[in-house]
Structure 1
Amino acid sequence: MPEIDMREPTFWVLTALASGRRHGYALISETSSLSQGRVNLKATTLYAALERLEKQGLVIADGDERVAGRLRRYFRLTDIGAQRLQQEAARMESNAQQARERLRLRPGTARGVIA
């Protein structure tokens, strides 16, 4: 059975975790930065997503740490999560390539220049 297309917030959460373990606030900040502001997660939304991703085996809780009296819960990408992220990145690249090719061949455009 083929994988379901990944939603953009999930893609950015996994992308943020690809470079190492992160706690919730860092994930919120990094997903916003990586997505150039398109994804702005709330804490409740993030933790619901992380719970779902953990059930799917894509992420795993990776310890807690108390900082300035606040508990930080860390997560990391699993090998399965990294593989799924790689598949999604390849799917997106293929889609973008197809779109660029179609735009290049678009009737009425000079040398692929889009008006």
Structure 2
Amino acid sequence: MSTRDAVSDLIRGNIDAIILCTLSGGDSYGYEILKEVASTSQGAYEMKEPSLYTSLKRLEKQGFVQSYWGDETQGARRKYYRITDTGAHELDEAIERWVRVRDIIDRLLKQKGEDR
């Protein structure tokens, strides 16, 4: 497995939290979310459309996001997504889980690194 694939796998395991975090900055539509993720990661990660929309459907079913149609006067109508209060709570918990896991991995890898 290439390094890039391994990094993408780790990120994919946190895609719901990444989307919730992006939406915590304000309502957004699919393409805009994809651009924000790429920009925030400084181009190191580009989420794929199927992953985004699969996650958004799951998050909506769980009550973490709500969708609504925009009222654009030009171009195609866009479906916007907003984080719910329940979604904001889930984001807080996801961040806590990530920090706990990161701390454990840091300790485990630091141990190995100190042996060198």
Match of 1:10 in 2: 16
Task: Write the distance in 2 (CA, Å) between the matches of 1:9 and 1:35.
Answer: 13
TM-score using structure 2 length: 0.73
Q: Percent identity?
A: 29
Q: Whose radius of gyration is greater, 1 or 2?
A: 1
Residue in structure 1 matching 2:65, options 50, 59, 63: 59
Please give the secondary structure, in 2, of the residue aligned with 1:70.
Answer: coil
> Which runs of 5 or more residues in structure 1 are unaligned?
1-5, 110-115
RMSD (Å), alpha carbons: 2.2
Q: Which amino acid aligns with 1:89?
A: I
Residue equivalent to 1:25: 31
SS in 1 for 2:72: strand
Deviation at 1:49, TM superposition (A): 2.2
> How much has 1:38 moved relative to structure 2?
2.2
Partner Cα separation in structure 2 for residue 104 and residue 87 of structure 1: 25
Counterparts in 2 of 1:67 and 1:94: CA distance versus 1, 3 Å = farther
TM-score (norm 1): 0.74
In structure 1, what is the equivalent of residue 105 of structure 2?
99
Matched, 1:81 2:91: no
**Paired residue type of 2:48:** L
Residue 71 of structure 1: how far off its partner (Å): 1.0
